[in-house]
Chain A
């Protein structure tokens, strides 16, 4: 009897999840959807590892004198940064949602290089294991930036293992970006022109460009750092004429563009969500698409604003300051156009849209405070303070993590075929929003008042705001645990979603949920622009 005939009549149709079973079918898969799920599990684990460190150092900051030893505190915030930046934020949306969706959105059966895609996941796992090895041996105390000569000469922590972990994970990021670039160029279905691509694809294409152009520089600078630490060759050692500032230049040449690797995919998610839950075409599609490209290009010429305090020439500083202001233009275009999309749209308040609202507001605060830091004079006062911490987390947590959660909820029915519980998810979104603001808004005030970052203790007058921040962090933590519970619950008990629960446009909503292994029965032909929502009905009364 064949397997097809033995299926019960009410059994689920064949899809990418039930087509094969067993661990081998997952570890040796080349299906972009299964690899996306593998990535989703891995980065979620790393997110909670990074969050665990945050919990510990927020506890330390409850008391002005600190609770842990200073050395322990240094290791906690360093490991938090390294794990969150390189193992959660950088791969978060590209390796999971975009990995799942880009081939479907452009009408292809898979990414251009499926085996390379699987390889990138294995490389990521190796990098994560190396970094976890550093953690279990006692961690790193250099901060996530690995600044020389502290990291190369003086630090007594596991710098090499962590740096090699980051070095390795970088290659996984390069391979993901390379795959996206080639897929978008060469794998589009007939009729899927560049101006018909969903904005999510545009933003991940721009991300891919940054990953491909920036990450190799991080690789080489970490390699130079490793040589310096192992053999003391002198390249970053000022004692023999080496230049530690060169390390900072090379590091930020990657790491500033890297923050756009972290935020651009989130912007793509928000474009999709806002269009769907306003039932309107994204206002100014071309501007939103090209603003992603503008951000990608500008991201490579602003790194010097991390180095205003290194004694770089004032003319260099002015140039970098001006260029950093320029990045605000495409970012603002996006915010204005999302807002204009909602104007006179048929706006509904489903969970993904709640996260999108959160993103737009918090990203705006994070972006505008970035202008304070791009300004030479105010940066000198605020650069070493919690103001920078708050700014960065408003963009990365208030922006990217919100977008990630919004995207996971938006496409959860497509990925799993099940709906999540609506009431719980709205409740969790609210908790996340409240917890986030309680955690990080006090840090703006602390920074403005002059509390320096990266210290394990602080003057007693800052205690109230620090306690508020720690209280907010625990609320935020609860907000992150609730979705884990109900999303896992929904895998078994969630109602069946159907192909298009949101009434959204786009190729991914025209196929079954979950999709089959090759996504489409036959290659689709695209005849209309993206977000082709009908006219919005006027509600009378």
Chain B
């Protein structure tokens, strides 16, 4: 059942809204947090943008070598992970809604579900990394020389490096996201969030959606290059 901490019709106290001393009103505080989060996400776009730009450059120079790597990418696992992440975005959006409606139990359950989906993603990703290691497709650390297409050996190495760099950075952001969700869960259990104070849930939600969207671009660019025909 929904539990409300602030009775309807009453102005919430400064403690309940966590209003910090330098803001005039909770609305101003929320506006500042939202703009700050979006600005931070723009820096993230530029951060990943450097890798996407490198990808674009090398794919343009070595299209055949890049296409030849698709046979080593596990589209089933990658596709499953895409679905898992989209589900986690849904549960994240539902936890924000639950926080806005002061519904404590749904908030907790949706946060837990989001964390489960996030963990499933990372486990599947771990299996994929393990396969790449066994097959000798890890540039710099365990590179088998790409025996099936020796003519692409060098150039495919660049793609596999970008694969590990981009998905690795993405996975790192997922791990950070799971840490943040743990924090939300603890705070949610402690009844911190309610209709007058849900900024952390919404901000971390924005972050989580951003990380998902990065994957939406990574999946086709890395897994499906050679699947056009």
Contacts and interface: CB of A to CB of B under 8 A. Distances in A.
Contacts of B31: 186
B47 A227 contact: no
A430 to B, nearest CB: 42
Contacts of B32: 112-113, 182-183, 185-187
B24 interface: yes
Interface in B100-154: 139-141, 154
B46 interface: yes
A220 B157 contact: no
B57 interface: yes
B140 A233 contact: yes
A334 to B, nearest CB: 26
Q: Binding site of B, secondary structure by majority: helix, strand, loop or mixed?
A: helix
Interface string A210-243: 0011111101110010010011111100011111
Contacts of B9: none
A330 B54 CA distance: 32
Given A108-B22, A234-B157, A235-B158, A219 B42 contact: no
Nearest to B30: A186
B62 A241 contact: yes
Given A109-B22, A216-B46, A233 B35 contact: no
Most buried by A among B32, B49, B155: B32
Contacts of A319: none
Contacts of A242: 158
Interface in B1-57: 20-22, 24, 28, 31-32, 35-36, 39-40, 42-44, 46-51, 53-54, 57
Interface string A180-195: 0111011100000000
B62 A186 contact: no
A178 interface: yes
A241 B22 contact: no
B35 A186 contact: yes
Given A212-B42, A231-B141, A241-B155, A246 B161 contact: no
Q: What bracket does the count of chain A residues touching chain B fall in?
A: 35 or more
A423 B51 CA distance: 55
A395 interface: no
A246 B54 contact: yes
A518 interface: yes
Contact of B140 (A187, A232, A250): A232
A334 B39 CA distance: 28
A178 B47 contact: no
Contacts of A243: 57-58, 61
A178 B161 contact: no
A66 interface: no
A178 B158 contact: no
Nearest to A230: B140
A231 B39 contact: no
A523 interface: yes
B24 A523 contact: yes
A20 to B, nearest CB: 15
B90 interface: no
A110 interface: yes
Contacts of B53: 249-250
27 contacts: A109-B21, A113-B36, A174-B43, A178-B39, A178-B40, A182-B32, A182-B35, A182-B36, A182-B39, A185-B32, A187-B22, A187-B32, A217-B47, A219-B50, A220-B47, A224-B54, A227-B140, A227-B165, A233-B140, A233-B157, A233-B161, A234-B161, A241-B62, A241-B158, A242-B158, A243-B58, A250-B50
Q: Which 7 A-B pairs have the closest CB atoms?
A: A231-B140, A220-B50, A240-B154, A216-B47, A109-B22, A216-B46, A110-B22
